[in-house]
Amino acid sequence: MFPFSFEWVWDIGHMIFFGGLWYAVGILSAGMIYVILKAAWDTMSESINNSGESH
């Protein structure tokens, strides 16, 4: 699963398989981090400027 795993061999099979996998996991984690940070940011900015409903 990682390059330092016992079974890891830098062959085309590993590159395709884990390439695709890490790509998908990357998107998911990036998406989630973005969403959480943005939500935190929205909550913060909303509570600071205390303006009316922002949405």
Partner 1 sequence: MSELENKAKNDSTISAGEKIAQKIKDDKGLGQGVILFIIAFVVCFAGSTLLFPKLLYSKKEQPFNFDHYLHVYEAGDCEACHYLREDGSFSGIPKLETCMECHVEEPLGVTDDEVVFVKEYLAKDKEIPWHVYAKQPDCVFFSHAGHIDTGARMDFNECHGPIEETKTSRTYEENRITGYSRDIWGKNIFGIKKNSWDRMKMDDCAKCHKEETGHQGYCFQCHK
Partner 2 sequence: MDSALIPEGAKRCSLPKFSIGMAIVGAVLLWGVWAMFLCWFKGLNQTNMNDYYGFALWIWADLAVIAVGGGAFFTGMLRYIFNIKELKNIINFAVIIGFICYSSALLILAIDIGQPLRGWFIFWHANIHSMLTEVAFCLSCYFAVLTIEFIPNILENRQANKVPFFHHLAHNMHGIMVIFAATGAFLSFFHQGSLGGVAGVMYGRPFAVREGLLIWPWTFFLFTWSAAAYGPSFTLLVTKMTEVITGKKLVKDNVVHLLAKISGWMIVTYIIAKIIDTIYWAYVTAPSLGFKLSHFYTDNSFYGYWILITEIVICGIVPGAILVIKSTRENPTLRLVAIILGTIGVCLNRWVMVLQIMAVPVMPFDTWALYIPSWQEVATTVLPVAYGIMLIALAYRYLPVFPQEKELNSVKPITESE
Partner 3 sequence: MQSATRKKQATKVIVSSVTSKNQKHETLNFNGELYMKVDRRSFLGLGLGAVAGVAVSPVGLKLTDDSSIWTQNWPWTPVPVDGRVNYEKSVCSLCPGSCGISVRKIDNRPVKIEGLSDYPVNDGGACLHGIAGLQYLYDPARVKTPLKKNGDKFEKISWNDAIALIAEKLKGIRTEGTPEKLACITDKDQGSVSGLFRRLLETFGSSEFYTMPSLESYLELTASTFHGKGNTIAFDLENANFVLSFGAGIIEGWGSPVACFKANASRKERHAKLYQIEPRLSNTAANADKWIPVNPGTEADLALGLCAVILKNNLFDGSATINFMGGFNKFNAMLKRDYSLSKTAKITGIKASEIEKTAKMFAKAKKPVAVFGKGRGDGAQSLKELAAVHMLNCLVGNINKKGGVFVKPVSQYLNFPSQSMDRVADAGFGKNKTGSTVNQLFEKIDKSAQPLIEALFVYNANPGYNLHDSKRVKKTLDKIPFKVSFSSLLDETAMLCDIILPNHTFMERIEDVPSGAGFAKTVVGLSKPIIKPLLNTKHPGDSVILIAKALGGNVAKSFEWANYDQCLESVTSNIWSPLSKRGFVVISKGVPAYRPLVNVSFLAQNPATINAKGDYALTLIPIDNMRLINTGTASSPFAVKTVSDTVIKGKDIVVEINPLTAIGLKDKGFATLTTPLGKARVKININEGMMPGVIGMVRGLGHTFDNKYVSNIGVNINDLIGQVIEPGSGLDAAFGIKAKLVAA
Name the site residues for partner 1 (rule: CB under 8 A). 4, 6, 44, 47
Q: Is 7 in the site for partner 3 (CB under 8 A)?
A: no
State the binding string over 13-52 for partner 3 (x if CB under 8 A, else -).
----------------------------------x--x--
- Amino acid (one-letter) located at 45: S
Residue 46 makes CB contacts below 8 A (sequence gap 6+) with 54
d(CA 35, CA 15): 29
Q: List contacts with partner 3 (CB under 8 A).
A: 47, 50, 53
